[in-house]
Chain A
Amino acid sequence: MILKWAPMSEAIIAVGAATLALALVVGGLAIAGFSPWSVIAVGWAGIAGSPLRLAICAQEAIPLLMCGLAATLALRSGVLNIGLEGQYLLGAVAAVAVLTLGPVGSCLPWLALIAGGLAGALWCAVAVGLERGRGVPLVLSTILLNVIAIHVVGVCVQGPLHDPATAAPQSAMVPDGSRMPLLFAGTPLHVGFLVAVMLAVALWLMQRRTALGFELEVIGLNPLAARFAGIPVGRRELTAALGSGALAGIAGAMQVAGVTWFLSSDVRSYGYAGIAVALLGRLHPLGVIPAAFFFSGLDLGARQLERRLDIPHDLGDVTKGLALAAVLVAGALSRRLGSSRPGTP
């Protein structure tokens, strides 16, 4: 009974929080004199006004979804990997290296994803190694490695990956033949979208239906009981950490192989956004999909509102923050109510 009810209530919490945040922002705009109906209509048109816009929304959701999955895998297992930002960047660096320094070919983007995944996992492994060998808390080392990763990108785009044709700190363009294939001709949406959705389903099956997933869940909830039950906690945590780093690295690789086609020192990372997406998705691999769309839709809608109605696009980020705050408060409240449920004798 409770097990069946739980996922439903999780979904209600997330949808309720998102709705509340939207209502607050639209309500605020209404007080400022904007008709709520035109705000909603213009915003929605920016997201889904045409098949092209919808494709852009999906394309922008890809890195959010991938980083959201990375965060879900780690946090569900009690591994506080806050280094998705850096792992994403290292994945992008590795992918650009494969795509611009090697030969041209249609299998190259897939090799780039593999390289990106390895690089992300390796960057996370550095943090795990510091924790195991030197006792550095993972939270701190992963955050600090994010800062280093930004500078690794800077060094690479001015050094080994620098495009000799320009003075700007950026890499060469990925040649046409080595780019991620498109899902629909005429839209920018690449097949990475399908890969990300399939990874979400795979992660869900792993968590739900495999012994590994059950062990990671137990470790996340009570590592001591896991230890006493003979589960090799250290090894499982390493698996979760490396898997999480790999997903973030693949996210970075997908973005350069399918969207930006080059890397510069002011590259945008989606690591921190991914953690927010994962929390809004209630750390459920399938819940992360709508959460990623919510974030990318807010970006697109807010930009459209700025263009058409001169409303600052920062309101999109404000809405994300409100939704996240609401979902965390609601989660804490539901836990408290849940724990005070009367026990049966």
Chain B
Amino acid sequence: MELTNDHIKNRLVEKFGDHVANFTEPYGMLTFEVPKDMNLKVLQFLYDDPELRFQFLTDLQAVHYPDNTGKELAVVYHLHNLKDNVRIRFKIYTAIEKPDVYTATQLYACANWMERETYDFFGVNFIGHPNLKRILNVEEMDYFPLRKEYPLEEQTRVDKDDEMFGR
């Protein structure tokens, strides 16, 4: 049987009920949200389920939404079922004051550096990670540069007036 987005959705709702929410399909990829303390349960279920078999972690990264109070940081997982060739994406949201998320390194060896990168740039604290330290930036850095509060250019510059154009 073909593994359709509807079928995946039904299997997930069957298993987790209301905890998985906000199903959308932007550009054909099933996307949903999961409470942050359930990310490992969902990953494990998607991995083990004989029909779903999402056993390849394509990508893991974070997004910062400063206006989303209480859910400022989103961690996004891209998973791939190589047998049926289906991709899905799910997100967990966490507060920026306490960005604690369970690590996926026990399930995927490749999550190690992806999580280190996410920690490096967003400060997401992956609980249980074997070696959570900065990877691309210098270790002395004391901030998380991809958060939106760090502008790319100095905002006090007057020679570049962006009032008319751009963000």
Asked if A and B bind, the verdict is no
